[in-house]
Structures are given as C-alpha cells and as structure tokens.
Amino acid sequence: MIIQIDDDFDLDRIADSGQCFRWERLDPEEESPHGTGRRERLDPEEESSHGTGRSAYRIIAGAECLYLTDLGGGRYDFECARDQFESFWKNYFDLEENYRAIRGRIDPASDPFLREAADHEKGIRILRQDPWEMLITFIISQNRNIPAIRRSVDMLSAACGERKTDSRGREYYAFPSPAALRALSEEELSDCRLGYRGKYVHAAAEAVCAGEIDLGSLLHADEEKTMAELTALFGVGVKVASCVSLFGLHHTDAFPVDVWMKRILADQYPAGYPFEKYAPYNGICQQYMFAWYRHRE
DNA sequence: AGGCAGGCTTTTA
DNA sequence: TAAAAGCCTGCC
C-alpha cells in the first residue's frame, strides 16, 4: 500500500544512523549501501526531507518483516495490509511525531553545529523498537563495528528465533525471546561470535526471565530510574543503557555519549551542552550531531 | 570514595 | 596492527 509521508523520513539516513541492525538494502545496483560514497546533500532550505526515491529495504523488527520502497516525492510503498501498517509499522516509524517541528526549534545563533547537523541529517527518526531486542543488540554492540554487530544479531536470531516466511516467500528469523536466548548453551552463544559479551547476553536473558528487571515498566519511568535499573545488569554500562533508553524505550531525551560524542561535546560545547533548551528531545539532537560528525570525517 | 589502567573476543580496514 | 556507538575488575 502507498503511504504519503510529509514529515522528515529518509530511509538511507535511518538505516545509516546506527539504531537498527536488521535492515537490508535491496537495490544493489545503486550506489554502495554503507560507508564510502557520501550521498548528495539535499538543499538545507527545503522544508522537509525524504529520500531520493531510489531506495528499498527489507526490514526485520521483532517478529515482523517488511519490504519498504521509497517512490520519491514523499510516497512510500509499504508491502503489507493496512491493518498491519496501522497496528505495527506506523508506530515503529514513529509517524505520529513531527520531526520537522523539533528541528525547527534549533537556534542557529547559540547552536550552529547542531543547526548545521540537523539541516544535513534531516530525515532521521527514532524508531520505536522492542526494548528487549535493543537491550541485547546494544550489549552485543560494545567495542564492535556495525557489520560485526549485524552478523551476531542475525546468527543469534537464526540460532533460536522463530523461523518465518516474509511476504515475498523468503524466510527470516524473528528476534529470539528471553526464554529462547536463556536456553542457549555457552557454546551456542560463542558460535554467534559474541566473544566476552556472551556471558552478558546470558545474564540479561536470566534477569528478564527471572523478573529481576521489567523492561515494559520502564517505558514510562523517569530517566534516573531507567538508567539505574539498566546499568544494574551485568555488562550494561551508561552508554549501552542510554541507547536502550533512546532506541528501545523511546525516551527521546536519553543522550548516548560514546567516544565520538565526547569529541563533539569537547569541540562544540566546551562550556557544557544545553540539555534544558531542547528537552525532551535531546536524544534526537544527539542523533543529528552524531551522524553529521561521522559523515564529515 | 572514586578515578584509572589493563584485559577482554572477534571482525574490519 | 589498530580500532571498533564499552564494561568489568583490581589497584591506588
């Protein structure tokens, strides 16, 4: 079904933003999907941002799979039934939120770098992904690059996720449940190339199965409680916890700080970043700055 | 107490 | 060979 989206929505920028690891770019005859070729920038004066009308993705999220094609002009082909769009994908892509309005609040005088970043990276959205999937994914992400993360997530899913068939008849594996992951042996985890993170993944599955942490209850918890509960998990530090908060719990004020963000804050905000000004959307601002800084490198 | 060095698995460039 | 959207442990 064709959906018209007038707000910021750029599949390539979302895919490249480091929040989702089970998106597969479909049209390989186009420019290379990741990395090398920096894509052409859109006019910063343009009111909203969408893609070029030339990209398509196969997206696995939780137990679902979607083929999505950018037709250009803000038109998108969602290969699913309307009720599936309404009940799952509309929420997944956070289509009720107005990102253009959030961008519009950024003050060019006091925050020139953030303003520039948002102009160039508009089209990014914070996906509403499953908190459990994000917890495991970001535990796996530590000290690794994106291709390696994708590989491990896929191997884990194939090892103990439910096998399903997508709308084009191709098979895929749902992200595993806590019980399924907990049942994996140390050797099976190690086969997924988790390295020393294998014991963290196992501990997280144990904690969720035992009810030591209730991720659903954190959806509406304040940030202090959220971070305290998440960082209490073995192998979960401040960085991973803030990624789970932002990408899995949709706490849009969560602000992951990694080595790159440390450089940005030191370079652009030596006197401190103005968290009050853009609350509760600091996490969205972070995404613009992170993406733009890396694209300029 | 709180900060810091060193180690950890594996892949990627 | 170093670096990769880190975290844990032990030492001071």
Chain A 70-129, CB < 7 Å to strand C = none
pLDDT score, position A45: 45
What's residue A32's pLDDT?
36
The one-letter amino acid at A96: E
Which positions on chain C have an atom < 7 Å from some protein CB?
3-8
What pLDDT is attached to residue A170? 97
pLDDT at A28: 52
What is the pLDDT at residue A33? 39
Task: Give the pLDDT confidence score for residue A50 in this predicted structure.
Answer: 85
Establish whether the CB of A18 is closer than 7 Å to any nucleic acid atom in strand C. yes
Burial level of A39, CB count in 10 A (0-12/13-18/19+)?
Answer: middle
Model confidence band, residue A72 (pLDDT cutoffs 50, 70, 90): very high
Whether the predicted model's global pTM rises above the 0.75 cut: yes
- In whole angstroms, give the CA distance from residue A191 to residue A188: 5
Return d(Cα A60, Cα A66) in angstroms, integer: 7
Measured in Å, how far apart are chain A's first and last C-alpha atoms? 38
- The distance (Å) linking the CA of A228 with the C1' of B2 is 18
The nucleotide whose C1' lies nearest the CA of A289 is C5
Confidence of residue A104 (pLDDT cuts 50, 70, 90): very high
pLDDT at A41: 41
Taking the C1' atom of every nucleotide in all shown strands and the CA of A294, the nearest one is C5
What are the angstrom distances between the C-alpha of A248 and each of A145, A154, A170, A257? 20, 18, 27, 16
pLDDT at position A48, please? Answer: 62
Q: Report the nucleotide nearest the CA of residue A195, measured to C1'.
A: B9
Question: pLDDT-based confidence at A49, cuts 50/70/90?
Answer: confident
Q: How far is the CA of A73 from the C1' of C5 (A)?
A: 32
Over residues A223-227, mean pLDDT: 96
User: Would the Cβ of A235 be found within 7 angstroms of any atom in strand B?
Assistant: no
Is residue A53 over pLDDT 90? no
Mean of the per-residue pLDDT values of chain A: 92
For residue A108, whether the previous peptide bond is cis, meaning omega lies within 30 degrees of 0, is no
State the average pLDDT over residues A252-272: 93
Strand C closer than 7 Å to the CB of A258? yes
Nucleotide with smallest C1' distance to residue A230 CA: C7
Please determine, for residue A141, whether its predicted confidence score (pLDDT) is greater than 90: yes
Of A186 and A277, more confident: A277
